[in-house]
């Protein structure tokens, strides 16, 4: 089976590319390398068909999509803070880019598009844990763009018969996550600082909660979403199933690494939500998804990766 992975040089995308190759897929990658990194694909370059191009280019997207049976649309301009600083580019890549993917998939006869959405679309809507039928209320432009892209996916499923599945990721972490970006997520930032003997920097009081999800579980969810009967036009939460505070994250990482340092707290970040927790019942029932990696084992594997890479 031929599969296109947009954003295949990124964090989730590069992990997904490896899983697809292991399962015998013919893999095409489309990436502009704006945030994706070539080194993420270094050892598999000979095994993939790499297209360097931007999601905003309809021509580049169509060329990469030709012949694909499944499209895993991981490509995006990530980060809530980045979207606050530059909402125009965030919208262009994440909304217009998704439109290009859907149009190309429709035109070349792709069977199914699996779209990487985000828990950020829930925003500050009341009610925990989050479930797919509740009202959404995104705060930052990033969440708004993901919601718009989700809506286009559903529209293309209903109007054009293109099978689409949207997966709402909750705080993914794991190997190949970029710690160097100014918009880096908490896990790679904390790990790199603790490995240097430096204290993790926590924005706010650290009691904000997140439903951390190991990347291997996200990859499994994508593979299930591509193959399962049913689910077309639907949206699913993908999460670890148990929220943890940022303070708990920092403490667990310090214990795994063996670092004896206290976190430094700074001003809370704009656009952040206070609590996040996912109900994954719908993904269990329809996709057959079940998280297999615990919070601790996922962090241990991530620390081991960063240690070996340093």
Q: Catalytic site residues?
A: 142
The secondary structure of the chain as a DSSP string is -EEEEETTTSHHHHHHHHHHHHTT-EEEEEE--SS--GGGGGGGGGGSEEEE--TT-HHHHHHHHTT-SEEEE------HHHHHH-HHHHHIIIIIHHHHHHHHHHHHT-SEEEEEEEGGGGBT-S-SSB-TTS--B--SHHHHHHHHHHHHHHHHHHHH--EEEEEEE-SEE-TT--SSSTT--HHHHHHHHHHTTPPPEEESSS--EE--EEHHHHHHHHHHHHHSSS-TTEEEEE--SS-EEHHHHHHHHHHHHT-----EEEPPPTT--S---B--HHIIIII-----S-HHHHHHHHHHHHHHH-
Nearest to 278 by CA among 240, 235, 221: 240
Phi-psi map region of 4: left, alpha, beta (phi>0 left; psi -120 to 50 alpha): beta
């Amino acid at each position: 089976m031929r599969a296109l992975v947009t954003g295949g040089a990124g964090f989730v995308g590069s992990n997904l590319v490896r899983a697809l190759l292991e399962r015998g897929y013919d893999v095409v990658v489309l990436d502009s390398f704006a945030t994706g990194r070539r080194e993420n694909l270094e050892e598999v370059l000979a095994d993939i068909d790499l297209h360097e191009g931007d999601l905003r280019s309809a021509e580049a997207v169509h060329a990469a999509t030709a012949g694909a049976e499944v499209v895993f649309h991981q490509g995006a301009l990530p980060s809530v803070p980045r979207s606050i600083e530059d909402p125009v580019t965030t919208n262009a890549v994440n909304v217009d880019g998704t439109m290009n993917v859907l149009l190309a998939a429709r035109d070349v006869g792709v069977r199914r598009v699996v779209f990487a959405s985000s828990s950020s679309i829930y925003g500050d809507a009341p009610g925990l844990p989050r479930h797919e039928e509740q009202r959404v209320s995104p705060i930052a432009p990033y969440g708004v763009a993901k919601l718009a892209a989700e809506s286009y996916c559903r529209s293309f499923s209903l109007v054009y018969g293109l099978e689409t599945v949207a997966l709402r990721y909750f705080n993914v972490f794991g190997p190949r996550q970029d710690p160097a970006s100014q918009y880096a997520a908490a896990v790679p930032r904390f790990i790199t600082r603790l490995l240097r003997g430096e204290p993790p920097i926590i924005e706010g009081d650290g009691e904000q909660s997140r439903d951390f999800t190991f990347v291997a579980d996200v990859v499994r969810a994508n593979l299930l979403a591509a193959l399962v009967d049913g689910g077309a036009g639907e949206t699913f939460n993908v999460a670890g199933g148990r929220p943890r505070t940022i303070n708990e994250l920092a403490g667990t990482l310090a214990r795994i690494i063996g670092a004896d340092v206290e976190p430094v707290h700074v001003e809370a970040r704009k656009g952040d939500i206070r609590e996040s927790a996912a109900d994954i019942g719908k993904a269990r029932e329809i996709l057959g998804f079940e998280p297999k990696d615990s919070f601790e084992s996922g962090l241990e594997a991530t620390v081991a990766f960063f240690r070996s890479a340093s």
